[in-house]
Amino acid sequence: DGTGATDGGTDGGELTPVKLQLQWLPQGQFAGYFAAVDQGYFEEEGLEVEIIPSGGDIVPQDALANGDVDYAIAWVPKVLGSIEAGANLTNIAQIFQRSGTLQVSWADSGIDSVADFEGKKIGSWGFGNEWEIFAAMAAEGLDSSTVQIITQDFNMNAFLQGDIDAAQAMTYNEYAQLLESVNPDTGELYQPDDFNVISYQDTVGAMLQDAIWADTERLESDEAYQETTVAFLKAVIKGWVYAADNPQEASDITIAEGSGWGPSHELWMVNETNKLIWPAPDGVGMIDEAAWNATVEGALSAVNEAGASPITEEPPATAWSNDYISQALEALEADGVDVTGEGFEPIDVELAEGGN
């Protein structure tokens, strides 16, 4: 194993090729990975990482399970479903410590909590993004038949025009879309106090989101892959640290990587994403067992309108592991990197019309 995957192996000659599958188009949500490429962190670890964006219908964990890629970014409840369906995957780093999903309603709608959903038109994107909603509703004693689920498309028009009473929104994306839109009554942009915001992080339905997944069998049998995994995680953490320290640069890097968002929206997204990651008291990427169990609980209780649940039984123990992230964190801490982000301070971002 002369590739020196564990220690700054640029001098080791050949770089190890690695493919990372994202779960959406390039955007600030993935700024840390792009920063790691741009700043040469992967190269320092002896890796040559190709970041593969996805589109409407690509399921990242399936790309991983099929062997198309080496690592994938995906939400935990979605992958739990895939694991139950036969995929053999392991969560090796829980990048987002918090859920970034909101349910937004109009300030005067009287919908301020999940309990108020009953009988309302509730927006969701589908594609497995809806399990938090059903889990939170289940905790309030509501099932999917008590609301009307409307599939949201790529923007917030359905909500703005009243087709949806409470729309699903990510703090880093759709919520910003609202604040970038002109209120036809005032001619100005909408303001935060125009809306009620329900954060799933504050509900029982909260679930773990962006995590890095690896192939379980390869982790067990392939030593090079294990080493690559630790090296990969080290670079990723450095990337996110960079994004936390330099949100503007990280945002510019992402735009250069092909994100089509305007500069203000991109910066907002990087900043909000940072808030979901930092501070990380156990170290960035560490999987909090309590949060994991809560996610499993929620996934077991959620039932959609077709009567299906993401999972029907507890996931196997192989579904998560802190082994690799711990090694990476240790090595980085030894190098003096702040991996908890204790001093993290978000910035203030002003959104421009249309996010431009």
Ligand X SMILES: Cc1ncc(C[n+]2csc(CCO)c2C)c(N)n1
Cβ burial 338-347 (10 Å sphere, 16+ → b, else e)? bbbbeebeee
In the complex, which residue's CB is closest to ligand X? 24
Q: Binding to other proteins (CB under 8 A): which residues in 95-134?
A: 121, 126-128
Minimum CB distance to other proteins smaller for 138 or for 284: 138
Residues that bind ligand X (CB under 6 A): 23-24, 29, 56, 125, 127, 129, 154, 170, 173
Q: Where are the alpha helices (DSSP H) in 76-115?
A: 76-84
CB of 173 to other proteins, least distance (A): 8
DSSP state of 138: H
Q: How many residues contact other proteins, by CB under 8 A?
A: 67
CB of 173 to ligand X, least distance (A): 5
Binder of residue 180, out of ligand X, other proteins, none (CB less than 5 to 8 A by kind) = other proteins
DSSP assignment string, 183-252: -TTTSSB--GGGEEEEEGGGSTT-----EEEEEHHHHHH-HHHHHHHHHHHHHHHHHHHHHHH-HHHHHH
x/- contact string, 249-278, with other proteins (CB under 8 A)?
Answer: ------x--x-xxxxxx-------------
Which helix (H) or strand (E) segment holds residue 37: the answer is: helix 31-38
The answer to whether residue 157 forms part of the interface with other proteins (CB under 8 A) is: yes
CB of 129 to ligand X, least distance (A): 5
DSSP strand E in 32-100: where? 47-52, 71-74, 89-93
Tokens standing for residue 139: 């905790």
The answer to whether residue 169 forms part of the interface with other proteins (CB under 8 A) is: no
**Backbone φ/ψ region at 40: left (φ over 0), alpha (ψ -120 to 50), beta:** left
Residues that bind other proteins (CB under 8 A): 24-25, 53-59, 61-63, 65-68, 78, 81-82, 85-87, 121, 126-128, 148-158, 160-161, 163-164, 173, 177-178, 180-182, 184, 255, 258, 260-265, 304-308, 310, 352-356
